[in-house]
Amino acid sequence: MSTWNYVVTAHKPTNVTHSCVGNFTSPQELNLIVAKCTRIEIHLLTAQGLQPMLDVPIYGRIATLELFRPHGEAQDFLFIATERYKFCVLQWDSETSELITRAMGDVSDRIGRPTDNGQIGIIDPDCRLIGLHLYDGLFKVIPFDNKGQLKEAFNIRLEELQVLDIKFLYGCSKPTIVVLYQDNKDARHVKTYEVALKEKDFVEGPWSQNNLDNGADLLIPVPPPLCGVLIVGEETIVYCSANAFKAIPIRPSITKAYGRVDADGSRYLLGDHAGLLHLLVITHEKEKVTGLKIELLGETSIASTISYLDNAVVFIGSSYGDSQLIKLNLQPDAKGSYVEVLERFVNLGPIVDFCVVDLERQGQGQVVTCSGAYKDGSLRVVRNGIGINEQASVELQGIKGMWSLRSSTDDPFDTFLVVSFISETRILAMNLEDELEETEIEGFNSQVQTLFCHDAVYNQLVQVTSSSVRLVSSTSRELLNEWHAPSGYSVNVATANATQVLLATGGGHLVYLEIGDGTLTEVKHAQLEYEISCLDINPIGENSNYSHLAAVGMWTDISVRIFSLPELNLITKEQLGGEIIPRSVLLCSFEGTSYLLCALGDGHLLNFQVNMSNGELTDRKKVSLGTQPITLRTFSSKNTTHVFASSDRPTVIYSSNKKLLYSNVNLKEVGHMCPFNSAAFPDSLAIAKEGELTIGTIDDIQKLHIRTIPLGEHARRICHQEQSRTFAICCLKNQSSADESEMHFIRLLDDQTLECISTYPLDTFEYGCSILSCSFSDDTNVYYCVGTAYVLPEENEPTKGRILVFIVEDGKLQLIAEKETKGAVYSLNAFNGKLLAAINQKIQLYKWMLREDGSREIQTECGHHGHILALYVKTRGDFIVVGDLMKSISLLIYKHEEGAIEERARDYNANWMSAVEILDDDTYLGAENNFNLFTVRKNSEGATDEERGRLEVIGEYHLGEFVNRFRHGSLVMRLPDSEVGQIQTVIFGTVNGAIGVIASLPHDQYVFLEKLQSNLRKVIKGVGGLSHEQWRSFNNEKRTAEAKNFLDGDLIESFLDLSRGKMEEVSKGMGVSVEELSKRVEELTRLH
Amino acid sequence: MGSMLGNLPSFDPHNFSQLRPSDPSNPSKMVPSTYRPTHSRTLPPPDQVRATEAKNILIGNIYQRAEEKLRSKRAATEHLIPEHGCKQTRPSTS
């Protein structure tokens, strides 16, 4: 049953919609605040660049983001309004580093037609009122009192119904707005109104201007001393005020964003639809405007927002490509551009389509998206987990342990790789040709298994075997000293650092040795009551060669203990609980916090924070990494220490923002790992896996890896073909900007290099609408099928399209067959060895027929009418699920005997669909244009035909994101024997560049998590006082209903971000221990 | 052209002074921590929870017009009533 669903974000939205600059976090600090649909990011301007401070989830889609400075305040406040008519005013409390809510409220009206051109929210420059245009014909005012407090809001009737923009004018004694609007003859004008706060009405303003540029769309208010407003059109820019009117023609372009450069408003940056950045200058003599000048500066991503930061550095926020930090140079570069890109911020939005593939054939899904729009279009390969880039590998069976050693204490590189087997030890070293070859360290005993090895001070090496500890010179490689285990005892486990050795023999004997120049001194001995299973003395204190603490794992009582060194006094004992013995312990330090990691024999890992002065263990947490015993080792990458957990599910443990994170390594099973930083393979790891020793480098340590393949054109559909190892995409290229026409292509890409290897141009006006890789009955070939539409300017809906069938031969797209259709082919599916197409209002089934001459053709078999536009189609067996433009989801069935398609059931709600997917035989998932998700169920047991013909809505949820595509699949490697491995997941991609996962949970888990969610709602507050419950409630024009059968995984997983105290609060409410809660939530994070 | 980009504003000359352009193929990887407020000040002071006044603008308008009508009638008939005396300086409305 896929009734109970868990929705979680794998990749947060990255589409930048708004940005502003001001002194938000302190009167002295300058901040850039960026809105990414449902999140805001607060950055600090520093000498090193933009420093991200905080990512703030907002329970709403951000419609307005404005900084303002109320009277008497030393720093700015942030005004946010959401699309669902909530607003809040936030203030930064620098003492606690918290966002506090100064005011909030609801600005919805019971009656009113929402504006077509988006919501407008503006703040009077003199801070007398906030103005909102949310409904046609209404201007809402939230006045400030003289102490900066907000008063009750009221509406004023606005005669202009088609409003394009509204701004406040500067320098007016009464608050004055300027309105850009279109009349019913499609002419555009501006008008000014004074807001009379007492009378709650408009008073005719000081001036107006009729008959502007037909493309006028943007108002820029000009601050004092000049005042007035700039009206930006497609062919002209006009400066307008009560006593001046200046205009300049511009090259035809659509200005998407502007940023004011100077406080006096004399210069502006304008970004257009083609990503060109212009500088607009108002020339003036004293306070009199004399004219306008405009200059092209260069090219950026297509901007949706521009913020001038400081010292010629500008933030370009983009919805269509990556956002950028640019510098405006005084002198142009060789290409004549004044723009220098300093930094780039990844944006996957809009994700128009994507596919899930396993390119490396490791059982791990990767998402390949069609991202961006127009010239900023690209493909992005999104992969979870950390990859190992193999550099060398050799077959070696039965590895029991590995250590790297240096040839002298101050050598920056490792020379030797000690590989231990059950009855021998082999030593590999880099030779002069930078090859790994077997060598010898004469002082080592290579006839037995090595238990531990380490570099030691004074150019020495130490080897621990079951019978002795050997101290060897790293230069002469000769034995310098040896400590023998007492007769009758053998060493079971051992560990060492540069100056210390700790080992345990049978009978619970713990022996502590110190290393001197040629000496090994037994300093202390202790007898414990049970056998010892693992040890560690990794120095994490001030001295990097000496540890004051030793961690010891025990058999029998299943505990981990901390001893002081050199005294070997027991200072802490922690019972681990359960019956599984600890197999590996490790003391380590992340971001200045000391931890003890303790891995159990069943793949669980416990972590504690360690108090370095008294050895106390606190903040115990447990996670499940795999099912087999884990071995822990530290390694360094890019000067940061991480921990590698070798097991059946290798994992890298690292810390980000003081939180431990677990990232999968994209390898199947790792027995042992040791860092091997040699001159030939710098920063590498030696990894023992499946009878093989591999040396490789490791990816950047982060959860999701994104590879960008810029296309310079807009990809709209993508599909992968396993057999030809290719991708095929439908894309469009805008011709030179002077000519607005666009050309559409089908392109074939190599699935490894992602280079275009073949192109098939479509006809003029012909759009690629759908693409599919499939095979047909009685034919072994695999084909690419493409559905198209002829989009003619004079037609409302396309009346003609084509289905094209290609085969990949010698890396080329060869057209095998084509069939004309009576409309746009919105969707194509492989169906019972045939081809199922959605063409305008019809579902059509085609057969693949062999002609007498041996060629192939597509033949119509049957069809089903009765949709407005059948846009999205998914199939399972003989069932067909259709997502309609405006008639929600319907279920069709193909009847073989009759050769007919009939409707079985439908959802009678009027949902405008954006994507559908089949969760199981009876449950279907839909996304619609009010940013909701819902599930419907087939009612096969219904008593009447009427009941059986109705799809029952069983789940509803407000996602707050526009979903363009669902696909079955997973971003993570699935272990069939793990609990998480059994959970079915669907991936979705959104306009804002978010990638999410919908996981269908077993009922008991759902109930548990639902309770956790409601407990978390009490502890984690909505920023700005916004309610989580309201945010997730299903909402469209007609109704609002509480979310059901969907859980917010983002809220649930934020449990792991809570302080210990707050975790305990939740734990109390749940009646479940913090350890158990963290473990269960941590498991969920491994779904994505 | 250079002069148009001259004298760009500088609020703090240190800002961006040590920033070197990064490899364009290597996007920024700095991730801010996610804010999870657990304090009680996410709720504003009780008098700062604001909504729109309940009166519908259309009904408000009708009442206002009716009132104006009534007032102008009254103004005509009860021209000399003392409490309206202050308004007599506006002869155009009478």
Give the Cα separation of A889 and A863 in Å (integer). Answer: 17
Q: Considering only alpha carbons, which residue of chain A is nearest residue B19? A: A48
Write the DSSP symbol of residue A115: P
pLDDT at B88: 44
Query: Are residues A878 and A807 part of one domain?
Result: yes
In our burial notation (b when 16+ CB lie closer than 10 A, e otherwise), range A807-839 reads bbeeeebeebbebebebbbbbbbbbeebbbbbb
> Which one, of A291, A321, A317, lies nearest residue A306 by Cα?
A317
Q: Report the residue from A56, A153, A332 with minimal CB separation from B35.
A: A56
Query: Are residues A787 and A654 part of one domain?
Result: no
Query: Are residues A503 and A423 part of one domain?
Result: yes
User: Is residue A660, in this structure, part of any structural domain at all?
Assistant: yes
Chain A hits for B45, CB-CB cut-off 8 Å, are 102-103
**In contact, A220 and A166? CB cutoff 8 Å:** no
Shortest distance between the Cα of B69 and any Cα of chain A, in A, equals: 17
Give the Cα separation of A595 and A727 in Å (integer). Answer: 46
Interchain proximity B1–A309, CB inside 8 Å: no
DSSP H or E stretch at residue A1085? helix A1074-1085
Beta carbons within 10 angstroms of residue A669's beta carbon: 14
Give the Cα separation of A613 and A129 in Å (integer). Answer: 56
**In contact, A502 and A511? CB cutoff 8 Å:** yes
**In contact, A468 and A479? CB cutoff 8 Å:** no
User: Is residue A452, in this structure, part of any structural domain at all?
Assistant: yes
Both tokens of A108, joined, read: 């919805």
pLDDT at A975: 61
- Both ends of chain A: CA-CA distance in Å? 21
Interchain proximity A47–B50, CB inside 8 Å: no
What residues are paired with A68 via a beta bridge?
A77
Query: Are residues A739 and A664 part of one domain?
Result: no
A41 touching B (Cβ < 8 Å) = yes
pLDDT at A679: 86
In our burial notation (b when 16+ CB lie closer than 10 A, e otherwise), range B12-34 reads eeebbeebeebeeeebbeeebeb
Beta carbons within 10 angstroms of residue A597's beta carbon: 23
**In contact, A500 and A515? CB cutoff 8 Å:** yes
Backbone angles phi, psi at A150, to 5 degrees: -85, 140
Give the Cα separation of A925 and A953 in Å (integer). Answer: 10
**Going by DSSP bridges, is the β-strand pair A436-439/A229-232 parallel, antiparallel, or unpaired?**
unpaired
A56 touching B (Cβ < 8 Å) = yes
Q: Can you tell me whether residue A391 is helix, strand or coil?
A: strand
User: Is residue A329, in this structure, part of any structural domain at all?
Assistant: no
What one-letter code names the amino acid at A10?
A
Q: How far from B67 is each of A940, A941, B80, CA to CA, in Å?
A: 63, 63, 19
What residues are paired with A591 via a beta bridge?
none
Give the percent of chain A with pLDDT over 70: 99
> To probe the interface with B, which of A21, A344, A754, A1062 has the most B CB atoms within 10 Å?
A344
DSSP secondary structure, chain B, as one string = -GGGGSS---S-TTTTTT--PPPTTS-----PEEP---SGGGSPPGGGEEEB-SS-HHHHHHHHHHHHHHHHHHHHHTTT-GGGGGGGG-GGG-
pLDDT at A433: 79
Contacts of A340 (CB under 8 A, 6+ apart): A326, A327, A328, A329, A333, B21
Contacts of B74 (CB under 8 A, 6+ apart): none
Q: What is the ipTM of this complex?
A: 0.83
The structural domain count of chain A equals 2
Both tokens of A738, joined, read: 């002077």
User: Is residue A1012, in this structure, part of any structural domain at all?
Assistant: no
Interchain proximity A345–B51, CB inside 8 Å: no
> In A668-747, which ranges are continuous DSSP H helix?
none
Q: Considering only alpha carbons, which residue of chain A is nearest residue B64? A: A199
pLDDT at A72: 87
Query: Are residues A658 and A742 part of one domain?
Result: no
Query: Are residues A683 and A813 part of one domain?
Result: no
Q: Quick one: angle between helices A1060-1070 and A1003-1019, nearest 10?
A: 130
Q: Considering only alpha carbons, which residue of chain A is nearest residue B3? A: A330
User: Is residue A535, in this structure, part of any structural domain at all?
Assistant: yes
Q: Considering only alpha carbons, which residue of chain A is nearest residue B6? A: A330
Q: Report the residue from B14, B22, B57 with minimal CB separation from A47.
A: B14
For the sheet with A491-496, list strands across it.
A491-496, A500-505, A509-515, A520-527
Q: Report the residue count for chain B.
A: 94
Q: Which of residues 97-136 of A touch B (CB under 8 A)?
A: 98-111
Q: How confident is residue B87, by pLDDT bands cut at 50, 70 and 90?
A: very low
What HEC string does A831-872 produce? ECCEEEEEECCEEEEEEEEECCCCCEEEEEEEEECCCCCEEE
Which CATH number covers residue A667? Answer: 2.130.10.10
Backbone angles phi, psi at A873, to 5 degrees: -130, 135
Give the Cα separation of A80 and A69 in Å (integer). Answer: 14
What one-letter code names the amino acid at A727?
F
Is residue B79 pLDDT above 70, yes or no? Answer: no
Give the Cα separation of A357 and A353 in Å (integer). Answer: 13
Shortest distance between the Cα of A53 and any Cα of chain B, in A, equals: 5
Q: Report the residue from A153, A157, A1022 with minimal CB separation from B50.
A: A153
Q: Report the residue from B12, B32, B41 with minimal CB separation from A53.
A: B32
> To probe the interface with A, which of B3, B17, B28 has the most A CB atoms within 10 Å?
B28
Domain that holds residue A409: 388-702
User: Is residue A423, in this structure, part of any structural domain at all?
Assistant: yes
Interchain proximity B35–A55, CB inside 8 Å: yes
DSSP secondary structure, A410-460, as one string = T-SS--EEEEE-SS-EEEEEE-TTS-EEEE--TTS--SS-EEEEEEETTTE
A294 touching B (Cβ < 8 Å) = no
Contacts of A440 (CB under 8 A, 6+ apart): A427, A446, A477
Shortest distance between the Cα of B67 and any Cα of chain A, in A, equals: 14
Write the DSSP symbol of residue A1057: G
Shortest distance between the Cα of A385 and any Cα of chain B, in A, equals: 15
Q: Quick one: angle between helices A1074-1085 and A1060-1070, nearest 10?
A: 100
Q: Which of residues 16-35 of A touch B (CB under 8 A)?
A: 30
Give the Cα separation of A836 and A832 in Å (integer). Answer: 9
Query: Are residues A804 and A670 part of one domain?
Result: no
Chain B hits for A156, CB-CB cut-off 8 Å, are 57
Chain A hits for B28, CB-CB cut-off 8 Å, are 343-346
A553 touching B (Cβ < 8 Å) = no
In our burial notation (b when 16+ CB lie closer than 10 A, e otherwise), range B76-89 reads eeeeeeeeeeeeee
> Which one, of A157, A142, A13, A31, lies nearest residue A85 by Cα?
A142
pLDDT at A355: 96
Is residue B76 pLDDT above 90, yes or no? Answer: no
Burial class of residue A496 (count of CB atoms within 10 Å of its CB; 0-12, 13-18, 19+): buried
Interchain proximity A140–B24, CB inside 8 Å: no
Chain B hits for A154, CB-CB cut-off 8 Å, are 52-53
DSSP H or E stretch at residue A700? none
For chain A, which residues score pLDDT lower than 50?
none
Contacts of A267 (CB under 8 A, 6+ apart): A260, A261, A279, A280, A281, A282, B4
pLDDT at A978: 61
DSSP H or E stretch at residue A780? none
Q: How far from A862 is each of A680, A783, A819, CA to CA, in Å?
A: 65, 22, 15
Q: Choose one of A960, A979, A1001: the last residue of a domain.
A: A1001
**In contact, A124 and A170? CB cutoff 8 Å:** no
Query: Are residues A653 and A580 part of one domain?
Result: yes
Both tokens of B26, joined, read: 């290597």
Query: Are residues A869 and A967 part of one domain?
Result: yes
Query: Are residues A810 and A672 part of one domain?
Result: no
A49 touching B (Cβ < 8 Å) = yes
Give the Cα separation of A143 and A1070 in Å (integer). Answer: 44
Backbone angles phi, psi at A1060, to 5 degrees: -60, -40
Give the Cα separation of A794 and A797 in Å (integer). Answer: 9
Chain B hits for A1062, CB-CB cut-off 8 Å, are 38
**In contact, A356 and A1002? CB cutoff 8 Å:** no
Interchain proximity B37–A142, CB inside 8 Å: no
For the sheet with A218-221, list strands across it.
A218-221, A229-232, A236-241, A244-249
Query: Are residues A550 and A507 part of one domain?
Result: yes
Query: Are residues A828 and A687 part of one domain?
Result: no
**In contact, A499 and A507? CB cutoff 8 Å:** no
pTM: 0.88
User: Is residue A435, in this structure, part of any structural domain at all?
Assistant: yes
Mean pLDDT across B44-54: 86
Q: Choose one of A1001, A1033, A1054: the last residue of a domain.
A: A1001
Both tokens of A932, joined, read: 């909701």
User: Is residue A665, in this structure, part of any structural domain at all?
Assistant: yes
What residues are paired with A916 via a beta bridge?
A926
Q: Considering only alpha carbons, which residue of chain B is nearest residue A56? A: B35
pLDDT at A428: 93
